[in-house]
Amino acid sequence: MSQRSLASFFGGGTKAVAAAVVVTEDADEPQRKKARFGEVETPVKFSETEAAMALSVTPMATSSKDPQGSPADTSVPRLPPLPDGEQDWLPLEPSRAGCLPAAWMELLSSELRKSYFTQLRKFVNKEADKHPGQIFPPAAEVFSAFTACDPASVRVVIIGQDPYHDNGQAHGLAFSVKQGVSPLPPSLQNMLKEIRQDPALPDIPERPRNGCLTAWAKQGVLLLNTCLTVRAHQANSHQKQGWEQFTDAVVRALGERYKDLVFLLWGLPAHQKGALVTKFGKTKHVIIKSSHPSPLAATRPSAGNPAFMGSRCFSKCNDELLKRNRGPAIDWTVPETA
């Protein structure tokens, strides 16, 4: 893919899009940043791995009572059987490690029964049989974003694309990598730099050596990839098999059932999911858009939205949570141990 095509994919184009609920940038902020930090750090360069990618847990306690409504029905839907007694590679049975939690199954019950999802289950089974040990993340971690926070606990949604497709990186949380992975992927490095350079956030004196974002998930940040699986070393290999439809349904269901969620949408593919949110009105939720943190796009405005670097999207997210009584603010630091 050409440099121009990749830049367009990550949101570097200039085509105008319809206005959404976007928190605007403070024009004086770059000077305040410079005064506090000196020159803003240069975003990291693109690695060979991420240039090929489209993007490119420990369960928290859950409550059966929805803080914005009545007690949630946690009944587990019965899924259509696969042909010839075929067993799911995806952990969809309560007895399986990493199973999609009951609260999410209830929220998505009609979606899980649709024919496209049955076809997706069959596709993933075939891939796992054909490429044993080469489907990422491992089966028990595919739904880690969901096991980390139940639907009623979600306050922020960050949308990624493919899981990382190199060995030992993906573990079910968008942009996150397993503890001990080094060096960190460039997009994640830029995310952590943006947090460090945001004057509205507490000082983070050292560069994090850990890229596991489980601590964010435990605070109600849903780190949702558009596709939840990928074949090893083959970016986008599980696109257009049903995952996009499923994750669209996740965004729609959250947007419909809850209110005052903050959506951080980076790059054009994520921006497109914003239409699923704005259909519920321009005040029910908040959308904060920017270009993608990928080194190809991090410093470039995207379709009328600010560049990721310098956007202050993380502190703006906290401002909106507090404004809408959805606090406390998210602690965006990354602990040395997950």
Domain count, the chain: 1
Domain span at 273: 3-61+142-323
> Which amino acid makes up residue 115?
S
pLDDT recorded at residue 71 = 45
Residue 174 lies in a domain: yes
Give me the residues of the chain with pLDDT under 50, please: 1-10, 13-20, 24-25, 27-41, 45-67, 69-74
pLDDT recorded at residue 84 = 82
SS3 state of residue 84: helix
SS3 state of residue 253: helix
Residue 329 lies in a domain: no
Residue 37 lies in a domain: yes
Residue 119 lies in a domain: no
Residue 162 lies in a domain: yes
Q: Are 251 and 275 in contact (CB under 8 A)?
A: no
Strands (E), the chain: 135-136, 156-160, 221-225, 230-231, 262-266, 286-290
pLDDT recorded at residue 50 = 42
CATH of the domain at 286: 3.40.470.10
pTM: 0.80
Residue 106 lies in a domain: no
Q: Are 174 and 225 in contact (CB under 8 A)?
A: yes
Contacts of 250 (CB under 8 A, 6+ apart): 108, 224
Residue 285 lies in a domain: yes
Residue 75 lies in a domain: no
Catalytic residues: 162
CA 197 vs CA 48, 191, 291, 301: distances in Å: 26, 10, 17, 18
